[in-house]
């Protein structure tokens, strides 16, 4: 099943996993230690993150390390950017209204 990055970040546990591995690659067991859930539940989240290509697996001997695919985060940033422009425009308009109100009080 093909998933997209928005399905991955929709879950708070997966967002927390992304934050954890953003700083360093970690094994599933090391990741699971940070959550009050089963190792199997963490593995399911890692599978979804891998399917969405937000994380990648790297084998080191018998261990599997998961690390963030930072380039894939650009897809999220690009989507959010359109809203950032809207918000900035609205704040600019609000500034103009407030300045007009302030000048009218004088």
Quick: pLDDT tens for 36-89: 999 999 999 999 999 999 999 999 999 999 999 988 888 888 888 989 888 998
CATH code for position 71: 1.10.10.10
Domain count, the chain: 1
Which residue shows structure tokens 């539940």?
41
Determine the Cα–Cα distance for residues 40 and 22; give it in Å rounded to an integer. 21
CA distances 98 to 24, 48, 87, 90, Å, are 46, 47, 16, 12
Determine the Cα–Cα distance for residues 19 and 67; give it in Å rounded to an integer. 10
Q: What is the pTM of this model?
A: 0.76
Q: Which domain holds residue 25?
A: 5-105
Q: How many CA atoms lie within 13 A of 2 on its CB side?
A: 0
Convert the pLDDT of each residue in 86-106 to its tens digit: 899 899 999 989 998 888 887
């Amino acid at each position: 099943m093909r998933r997209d990055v928005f399905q991955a970040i929709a879950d708070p546990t997966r967002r927390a996993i992304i934050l954890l591995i953003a700083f360093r690659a970690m094994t599933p067991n090391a990741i699971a230690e940070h959550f009050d859930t089963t190792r199997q539940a963490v593995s399911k989240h890692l599978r979804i993150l891998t399917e969405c290509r937000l994380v990648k697996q790297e084998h080191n001997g018998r261990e599997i390390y998961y690390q963030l695919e930072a380039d894939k985060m650009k897809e999220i940033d690009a989507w959010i950017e359109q809203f950032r422009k809207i918000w900035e425009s609205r704040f600019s308009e609000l500034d103009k209204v407030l300045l007009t109100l302030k000048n009218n009080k004088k």
